[in-house]
Amino acid sequence: MLHLRLITPAGKTDAVVRLIENTVGTAHLVVVPGAARAPAGDVVMCDVAREAADELIEDLRAFDLDECGSISAENVDLTLSRRAEEAERAAPGEAADAVVWDQLAEATHEESTLSVTYLAFITLATMIAACGVVLDNAILIVGAMAVGPEFGPLAGFCTALVQRRSRPALRSLTALLAGFAVAMLVTVGFSYFMDAVDLFTAEALQSDRPNTNFIYRPDWFSFVVAVLAGCAGTLSLTSAKSGALVGVAISVTTVPAAANAAVAFSYGAYRQAWGSTEQLLLNLLGIVLAGTLTLLAQKALWSRKPRTSSTR
C-alpha cells in the first residue's frame, strides 16, 4: 500500500475527506484540523492500495492541492491491519500491475538529471569498461554495466514521451547524450594515459578478443536483447522490482560500447570505433522503443479497470 499525507486548506478538507471515503481501496483515514503551518491548513492522512493510488492522486490534484497545499506519498513496507487487507481486496486489479504515474515521474526525474554524481558514475563505468575491452575481461564488462546509470535518463525519456511532457523529455535526453559525450571524451584521455604507461596497447585492442568482440559487432540479436531489456527495465520501475532492474543493467552493452568506441578512437581504429557506436545507438534505440511501448500498453490496459472513486 501507499501512505498519503495531505495538507489541505480548511475550506477544501471536507471535500477531500469525502473523496477519500468514496474511493475503493482506502483505509486508515486520519484528519488533524489546523495542524499544518506552512502552508496553513489541515493534515489529512490515509493508506491506499497501490492499484487505486494513481486515480486518487489524480482526483486530489483536481483540488489544486499541489498548488495550495501538498500531496506526499510513500511506500508502506508493513501494515498489520484487517482494514488494509480489505482495502487491497476491494481495489480492482493487482498491485504489481499498477502504475502510479506521478511516483514514476518523480523517480525518473531524480535519475535523469544531469548532475556531477551522474557524470561521475557514467564516466567511471566507461573507464572500467575500457579496461575490460582491452583485457578482454568479461567480469569487468559486467561490472561496468552494473555501475552505469544510463537507464535512469532512458526511463525518464520514455515516461516523458508517454505523458507528452516536453521539458522532462529534453532534460532526460540532455543527461543521456551529455553523459555519454563526457564519459567517452574522458575515456579517450584515460586511454592515452594507459597507453603511455604501457597498460593499454593497440595489439590488445585489435586482437581476437573472444569475450568482448561482440561489443563492436552489432547485429539483430543486439537489438532484440535491448528491446527485451527495455521491457523488463520499465516493468521493474513501475512495479518497484529493483532486483530486476539490476539484471537489466548488466544485459545491454551501452557503456561497454561507448568505452570500446573511445579506446578504438584513441588508437585510430575507426572501423571498430564506428561499430561500437552503432552498437551503442542500436541499444539505446531498442530500450527507448521498448520502454515507451511498455508504458503505453500498461496505460491502455489499466484504463480499462473500473473506477475506484465516485464523481465528486
Q: 3-state secondary structure string, 161-217? A: HHHCCHHHHHHHHHHHHHHHHHHHHHHHHHHHHHHHCCCCCHHHHCCCCCCCHHHHC
For residues 172 and 238, which has the higher predicted lDDT (pLDDT)? 172
Neighbour-count burial for 116-125, b at 16+ CB within 10 Å, e otherwise: eebbebbbbb
Cell of 248: 537489466
Q: Are 209 and 133 in contact (CB under 8 A)?
A: yes
The per-residue pLDDT for range 43-67, each reduced to its tens digit, is 999 999 988 898 899 999 999 998 9
Task: Output the average pLDDT for the chain.
Answer: 89
Mean pLDDT, residues 75-90: 88
**CATH 3.30.70 matches 2-98:** yes
Does the pLDDT at position 162 exceed 80? yes
3-class secondary structure, 86: helix
* pLDDT band per the 50, 70, 90 thresholds, residue 39: very high
Q: What's the maximum distance between 2 C-alpha atoms anywhere in the chain?
A: 75
* pLDDT band per the 50, 70, 90 thresholds, residue 241: low
Give residue 26's pLDDT: 94
Determine if the peptide bond prior to 39 is cis (ω within 30°): yes
Residue spans of the domains in the chain: they are 2-98, 103-300
Give the Cα separation of 134 and 100 in Å (integer).
Answer: 43
Cell of 202: 593497440
The per-residue pLDDT for range 177-234, each reduced to its tens digit, is 999 999 999 999 999 999 999 999 999 999 989 989 889 998 888 899 899 988 888 8
